[in-house]
Structure 1
Amino acid sequence: MITHSPTEGVYPATADYAHAVEVRGAERLLFVAGTMGLDAAGRPGAGLAEQLDLIWDNIRAILASAGMTVDNIVRLTSYLADPDHAEANAAARVAALGGRPVPTTAIVARTLVREWLVEIEVIAAG
């Protein structure tokens, strides 16, 4: 995987964001559905921090089922129920990815269930 964040002709990327990731020689792609901050019984976490922890635990479990880790993530989209969740969501993403920048988009959207504060989908390559 090669990160591309050109410095000319486009606005600058930030430390936690890449304009693009090129994947060469990948044998597999994994498209992970929007993942919520639900526990094993399907109950949402009590607040934003708990839901973000659960989301990343759930994403790690899904990736592991395919023999992958967060290091395989090449694209990420976050759906936030409130724009005020953006900072905490970004911090959780940076922590989960160990600071590795990937192309990411955050969208403020209405979730299907009011208690779901964030939903994240990823694409992984390996």
Structure 2
Amino acid sequence: MKRDNINAIHAPQPRGGYSQAVSIENFRRLLFVSGQIPMTSDDVLPEGFEAQARQVWLNVDAQLKAAGMTKADIVKVTTYLADRRHVAANREIRTDYLGSLAPAMTVVITGIFDSAWLLEVEVVAAQ
């Protein structure tokens, strides 16, 4: 698969570990991962934003592994945050998980299905 991160010079540059666009060619398959919630497999909700965010990324990772993929295959991330106060912590934890990967990314501040959940993350991956 050929993957190119695109950041047009005549548009705002990304700030914080993402690309403005990601182009993929010659891929075999796409995986669309539904919004992953901050619950453990035994239905425990971690306390606090940081713990919930780390759990969400563990859940994303589990879905990728179940599909025979890894985080290196992620091309798009959409994060839904319940509160704008969590933006900095979200960026830090996301960066811990993604490392130097720079997928296309959107962060939305919104109400979330369960008011106890502080975020939800969906991804698109390609191989």
Give the match for residue 77 of structure 1.
78
Give the match for residue 5 of structure 1.
7
Give the match for residue 107 of structure 1.
108
Letter in 1 for 2:28: E
Deviations 1:19-53 (A, max 9, x none): 11111111110000000111111221111111111
Identity fraction in percent: 32
User: Any unmatched runs of 5+ in structure 1?
Assistant: none
Deviations 1:59-98 (A, max 9, x none): 1110000100010000000000000111111111111111
Q: Which residues in structure 2 correspond to 1:81-100 (within 5 Å)?
A: 81-100=82-101
Give the match for residue 67 of structure 1.
68
What CA distance in whole angstroms lies between the structure 1 residues aligned with 2:106 and 2:61? 19
Does 2:88 correspond to 1:116? Answer: no
TM-score (norm 2): 0.94
Aligned residues: 125
Letter in 1 for 2:55: L
Return the offset for 1:15: 4.6
TM-score (norm 1): 0.95
What CA distance in whole angstroms lies between the structure 1 residues aligned with 2:123 and 2:17? 16
* Secondary structure class of the residue paired with 1:23: strand
Does structure 1 retain, via aligned residues, the 8 Å contact 2:16–2:91? no
Return the offset for 1:99: 2.5
Letter in 2 for 1:31: F
Taking only aligned residues, the RMSD between alpha carbons, in angstroms, comes to: 1.0
